[in-house]
Structure 1
Amino acid sequence: MPADSASSWTTVDDFLQSGDSRAARCFRRTQWDQVCLTASNANRHLECVALDQVTSGLNNVVRLLEFSDRSRWGARVRIKIADDAELETEVATMQYIKEHSDLPIPRVFAYALDENNPAAVAYMLIEVLPGIVAMDALGGYELHRGVIPTQYRRQFYRSVATCHVQITSIRLPKFGTIVRNREGGYELGPLPGIGGPFNTAAAFFEAWADNVKFKWDNETIGRMMQRGPIPAEWMISIINKFPSQIKAMASRLSASNNGPFPLCYDDFLHSNIMVDENSFDVTGIIDWEGACTVPWEVIAFPEFLQAMPVSFDLPQKYDRDRQPLDEGVRQTWRERQEYIEMVKSAELEDHLLSTCLSSNKNQALAYAYGAFTSIGKLGFYDRVIEQIERESWNLQNRTGCRPGHRPNYIGKGIPLVEGRGVESRKWLFH
């Protein structure tokens, strides 16, 4: 969370009058005197007060606390009433990262997993990191419309690439979420909506296919496709078939069927990345809800470098060389290539992340996986399947590598001790 910055914080009165209504209700529901009491007990019984500085995001309200020695913590309160397992997993993930990595994330000082406590809310007391949220820097969204200013992008991307390598270098032997066990150590727990933990990539993809639910029902898809380039029933068929197609090829999707598997940061957005406002060097990464280990094939670029795969998109948006006609998309493609080179420069033990990001097949699968699972985007999932099949066949012919086995040139993972701006359009066609 950000340190004191005029563009990150607002007063309590302004927040309650002009902020999101859900966030305002959450703020009023919170017993701040009890939050301060918990903070005091966790910090040598120093006197603690809640300051007149508040900010909020999609899921959390954050208020600054100050102690009698002038040190400050952040109280991050969950807006929605959610399963306590979500917060428990996020806390465990942050603690594990602190113990196993130099990645700059907030330290967790204390927490309450649900509303059944004197503060009446689920909350986390965390370290205040230096810097400002990248989205809010240099005038924020009102001035830059959520885009990193051009003159700062190269340094920002380079710093993010270093963090990206650090995140995916945290590897565990199974697919799942990080949780605490009874002995105080760490283990892998189930993935929300999927189950597990899973020992192999094939088992992960099979479970995903068996359990995933598309965001929109057939009737809604039909309405969304009223002016689409193909009949609504075709799109409905494409979407309904995608999970079973993934399941049918589950054993062939990953070059690394067995662990260790990389940690994936689910909300890799510049609204969750802290930077030094003068240099745009990353000073911290916040909001770790949803983090879990996943196959390399669904590791994607940060959200601000996302680009729709050619196979998923409308063909008329590309020239005969399959290059995008839109200059903005062309620029994103160029920046993605620069980012890959930055990742390569940051990699030490292996080149698994840069290899993953360089693969059109992997990135098509990663995009389709995210679009289907989280966003509910309409698009040509069937063409993504065709691309995966075609490029997998070509790779096998070139390398002689059997499905589910890593080609020698990719390298090997180094195991550790086990222990998304969000797109505004929900459909492709408009």
Structure 2
Amino acid sequence: FINTLDTETIQSLALASRRKLSASALESVLPLTLSCVVVLPPKNGSDNIVYELIFSDDIHWAVRVPFQQWSDLRSESMRLDIVAQHYILSCTSVPLPRIHSYCLDEKNPLGHPYMMTDWASGVRLVDVWDDPGWWQPPRTKERFLASLARHMAELASLEFEKIGRLDSTEQGDSHFVGPFPSRHALCRTTRLLSPDSQIGPFESTHAYLSLPLDERRRSRDNELLAVLSLLLAGLPDPRFDAPPFVLGHPDFDSQNVFISEETAELSAMIDWDGVAVLPRQLGALTYPAWLTVDWNPIMYSSYKEQQHCDTEEELHEYRAMYTEAMRTLSAEYAEATRNSHILSTLAIAVAEEFTTGAIVYHLGKFAFGSRLLMYDLLEGIKRAPWFNLIPGDVARV
């Protein structure tokens, strides 16, 4: 794919974008000799190839080029990403890279859709979080988590009545929550039998999480999914089932977070592809994923192989630290955040098939106090009349 990307074309597009911004008075007057260098090799993201662009006036941009096979659905999702990011930038100080130029289709000189943004400044959190030598005053994890909480609280102040993708009118003068472009995207690693289509918006947390789980059970039911249905009915906090709903980062993990090398405070958050309005405990008021990795046994098993990794007790302490940082901003926000890892773990089990079994056992130990009891429950459900009830039959014990 990289061989199809012409760096001279990228340079030309970037320079044209800078000149257009200057002509519209969004930038100062440009030097007549302005030039641009495309840094090689590019970086590989989960869905994009990313080049750093360095202009001769020391401005740094990024150009992101999706490498999936393009479609109308992906184009629509990218359009909604841009709507939401513009909205967040206009209403908050959350440090998103500002979008300067984009194309939603392949009808351009590059031959691929693309987006040009500011280059994210700072140090990637994933590169330093587990490095004890890096965290020396004034760089402390407490200071970083406090700065992250401030920005997430600000994002949480943007409230909505439904769960879905943020959209705007054609004139861009008002915003509303519309459907998700793809029902299959809600089950990220599960092949569904039903045809793909728009889905939502949803009016409750339970409706939002139940739909992909019901889709999975219709496609291929088993006792793990039956128990997951029971856990989904009983574990989420009912106080956060109804509106308001909030925007949230779609991949709130350490590889997408940048921090200041001097202060360790948040400096940038990248990769907002798929940004949506979500339940509070899955959106801006959830824990970041690296603080809850111990609730996902498969991921934690891999993480523990690193030289320096957080123990379960340390992760629990960081969650308490983050909740207290949120409490200094809003007691209501802190209450939503405090046990948000229960709901986010359920959401992972619903959406990611390869994690379901391990998470069901983990949540079973939390709910029933014993993994052995969870094993007995699964064996019992496999033989139970409820699980084996044939459609049209009258239930009996």
TM over 0.5: yes
Shift of 1:305: 0.6
Question: Which runs of 5 or more structure 2 residues have no equivalent in the other structure?
Answer: 24-29, 187-198, 302-308, 370-397
Counterpart pick for 2:177 among 174, 181, 188: 188
Q: Following the alignment from structure 1 to structure 2, what is the Cα–Cα distance between the partners of residues 121 and 333?
A: 44
Cα distance, 1:213–1:114 mapped onto 2, change above 3 Å: farther
Q: Match for residue 64 of structure 2?
A: 76
Asked whether the equivalents of residues 63 and 114 of structure 2 are also in contact (C-alpha less than 8 Å), the reply is yes
Shift of 1:125: 1.3
Counterpart pick for 2:311 among 328, 341, 358: 328
1:116 aligned counterpart, secondary structure: coil
Q: Following the alignment from structure 1 to structure 2, what is the Cα–Cα distance between the partners of residues 148 and 208?
A: 43
The question of 1:198 aligning with 2:188 is answered no
Q: State the percentage of identical aligned residues.
A: 19
The question of 1:287 aligning with 2:283 is answered no
The question of 1:211 aligning with 2:215 is answered yes
Q: Match for residue 39 of structure 1?
A: 17
Shift of 1:147: 8.3
Cα distance, 1:85–1:385 mapped onto 2, change above 3 Å: farther
The question of 1:160 aligning with 2:148 is answered yes
Asked whether the equivalents of residues 166 and 178 of structure 2 are also in contact (C-alpha less than 8 Å), the reply is yes
Counterpart pick for 1:134 among 125, 129, 134: 125
Alignment of 1:150-299 (within 5 A): 150-151=135-136, 152-184=140-172, 185-191=174-180, 192-193=182-183, 195-212=199-216, 237-242=222-227, 244-245=229-230, 254-299=238-283
Q: Match for residue 124 of structure 1?
A: 115
Q: Match for residue 87 of structure 2?
A: 96
Asked whether the equivalents of residues 294 and 315 of structure 2 are also in contact (C-alpha less than 8 Å), the reply is no
Asked whether the equivalents of residues 93 and 151 of structure 2 are also in contact (C-alpha less than 8 Å), the reply is no
Which amino acid in structure 2 is aligned with residue 267 of structure 1? Answer: D
Q: Normalized against structure 2, the TM-score is what?
A: 0.69
1:255 aligned counterpart, secondary structure: helix
Shift of 1:384: 3.5
Shift of 1:65: 3.0
Q: Following the alignment from structure 1 to structure 2, what is the Cα–Cα distance between the partners of residues 26 and 177?
A: 32
The question of 1:52 aligning with 2:39 is answered yes
Cα distance, 1:91–1:30 mapped onto 2, change above 3 Å: farther
Q: Following the alignment from structure 2 to structure 1, what is the Cα–Cα distance between the partners of residues 226 and 56?
A: 61
Q: Following the alignment from structure 1 to structure 2, what is the Cα–Cα distance between the partners of residues 27 and 148?
A: 39
Q: Following the alignment from structure 1 to structure 2, what is the Cα–Cα distance between the partners of residues 237 and 147?
A: 44
Cα distance, 1:383–1:212 mapped onto 2, change above 3 Å: same
Shift of 1:351: 2.7
Which amino acid in structure 2 is aligned with residue 49 of structure 1? Answer: C
Q: Match for residue 366 of structure 1?
A: 344
Cα distance, 1:145–1:157 mapped onto 2, change above 3 Å: closer
Asked whether the equivalents of residues 135 and 146 of structure 1 are also in contact (C-alpha less than 8 Å), the reply is no
Asked whether the equivalents of residues 343 and 353 of structure 1 are also in contact (C-alpha less than 8 Å), the reply is yes
Asked whether the equivalents of residues 206 and 246 of structure 1 are also in contact (C-alpha less than 8 Å), the reply is no
Q: Following the alignment from structure 2 to structure 1, what is the Cα–Cα distance between the partners of residues 133 and 154?
A: 22
Asked whether the equivalents of residues 156 and 247 of structure 2 are also in contact (C-alpha less than 8 Å), the reply is yes
Q: Following the alignment from structure 1 to structure 2, what is the Cα–Cα distance between the partners of residues 356 and 389?
A: 23
Shift of 1:246: 6.3
Asked whether the equivalents of residues 209 and 246 of structure 1 are also in contact (C-alpha less than 8 Å), the reply is no
Cα distance, 1:33–1:267 mapped onto 2, change above 3 Å: same
Q: Following the alignment from structure 1 to structure 2, what is the Cα–Cα distance between the partners of residues 242 and 343?
A: 33
Cα distance, 1:247–1:371 mapped onto 2, change above 3 Å: closer
Which range moves more in the overlay, 170-179 or 30-39? 30-39
1:296 aligned counterpart, secondary structure: coil
Question: Which runs of 5 or more structure 1 residues have no equivalent in the other structure?
Answer: 1-21, 138-143, 219-235, 318-325, 391-430
Which amino acid in structure 1 is aligned with residue 78 of structure 2? Answer: L
Q: Normalized against structure 1, the TM-score is what?
A: 0.64
Shift of 1:306: 1.0
1:263 aligned counterpart, secondary structure: strand
Counterpart pick for 2:327 among 337, 341, 344: 344
1:118 aligned counterpart, secondary structure: coil
Q: Match for residue 396 of structure 1?
A: none
